[in-house]
Structure 1
Amino acid sequence: MLSFDEVAKLELDANLVVLSACDTAAGTSVQTALKAGLESASPALDGLVRSFIAAGARTVMATFWAVPVLTQTDDLMSTFYRTGRSATMADAIKTAQDQMIDTRRFSHPYYWGAYFLVGDGAKSMLTPTQVAMR
């Protein structure tokens, strides 16, 4: 397993990194915070999110709390990826969350509210070259 500092040293060229696990926004080190351009570490939006931003990810999707392991969570991610092929990442996550909200059984924020984007949500998941290759 890589430490936060080891992740931060990776040289990424990624529009999107998805941290699809429970509570991926927690914890960081001072070295990672400094590499990300911050003066010190803080408890909010730290850990893997900050490490991947420091490594060169333009946008990171993470979670604020443990997400339920349900088919509906898979549906949220599938909708996010499908919508993200032709829309911005911000629109893709909104569409996926709206779909959960519109399902009575999963409309509570517990099921969809953990997911968030850090970075440039106005970008597409795919570069223009990747779109042309599809």
Structure 2
Amino acid sequence: LVVKEGKNYKDTLFVTDKWTMSYSQSATTLALTRLFKPSMAKKLFFALGNPVYDKSDPRYAAYKQGKTQTIAGQNLKQYAYRGVTVVPKEGTAGDTVTWEDVVYPPLPETEDEIREIARLFGVKPELPDVLLGVLATETNLRNVALKDYRYLHFATHADLPGKVQGIKEPFIILGQVENRGNDDGFLTLSEVLELKLDADMVVLSACSTGKGKMMEGEGVANFARAFQHAGTRSVVVSLWEVASDAAVEYMKSFYSHIKSGKSKAEALQLARKEIKAKYPNPFYWAVFILYGES
């Protein structure tokens, strides 16, 4: 929404430039959110990012050989978005394809993003607090006591129903190797509903995590609502495709303001302002919004 139109994006005054904002799916959700007591989580920060999506990833070969290999630091432009680029291995992708027919590119910059945020909070980027690369699996995620964490951060691909055959709900893509039992490497909306959390905030640094189905009397049934149901007071989600290089800067700025004592809504507004100065198009700086307690 525009408060005062300018000659270009950079000169235009938007609502979020003037006021801090948070969203609620419905009056019912707003009332329920206000019933939350402060988080009693004893640990500060958990994160998952830069998973291995395919066994052909050189990181997986290195892991199997007992070596360490990272692809962090490659050209960020090579991996532009966090979820929208579905490349068929052969032929042309239709509306829905099987997982074996698609390739989600690796996101090395998400590892840089998470390591920097972990450093801000004095958290070592290692198990169980941080799951990166081959370790960023659904099995490892389920072995973490997520209820112990105040902030949870996911930086990976996410997508909507219909993108992959057999998945009929929004999903976050975790590691596709080294899972056990029934773990398939997808964290779906219904699986999030079953989590037990005591988080102050969950951040989904992935594509289109704020989209969902409109439900009468409930508003949008999206990942924000699912994480709130699981025990989260606030959730940061995206409204559309996330430009990955800008998102790294966005999240570093956002968490630095959180660390300095700003409220979540204030931190998001300040991060938007900084990203807008470098990337004036709203596509880059307006992508993330805050649901819940601000």
In structure 1, C-alpha distance between the alignment counterparts of 2:270 and 2:256, rounded to whole Å:
10
Write out per-residue CA displacement over residues 10-49 of structure 1, whole angstroms, 9 at most, x where no aligned residue. 11000000011000012359xxx7xxxx855x5x3x2211
1:51-130 matched pairs, under 5 angstroms? 51-70=226-245, 72-85=246-259, 86-103=261-278, 106-121=279-294
Task: Determine if the alignment matches structure 1 residue 12 to structure 2 residue 197.
Answer: yes
Distance 1:110 1:75, change over 3 A: same
**Displacement, 1:88?**
0.4
- Note the residue ranges of structure 2 that are not aligned, 5 or more in a row: 1-185
Contact 1:22 1:66 (C-alpha < 8 Å) held by counterparts: yes
CA distance, structure 1, for counterparts of residue 283 and residue 262 of structure 2: 25
Max Rg structure = 2
The question of 1:25 aligning with 2:200 is answered: no
Q: Does 1:3 align with 2:176?
A: no
1:100 Cα deviation after fit: 1.4
Normalized against structure 1, the TM-score is what? 0.73
Per the alignment, residue 131 of structure 1 pairs with none
**Aligned residue pair count:** 108
Query: Normalising by the residue count of structure 2, what TM-score does the alignment of the two structures yield?
Result: 0.35
Q: For each residue in 1:70-121, what CA deviation from the matched residue of structure 2 results, as whole angstroms up to 9, or x when unmatched?
A: 1x32111101001011110101000000011222xx0110111110000011
Gaps of 5+ in 1: 122-134
1:8·1:55 contact (CA, 8 Å) conserved in 2?
yes
Pick the structure with more strand per residue. 2
Residue of structure 2 in register with 1:129 after alignment: none
Q: More relative contact order in 1 or in 2 (CA 8 Å, sep 6+)?
A: 1
Identity, % of aligned pairs? 31
The equivalent of 1:128 in structure 2 is none
More helix by share: 1
Letter in 2 for 1:25: G
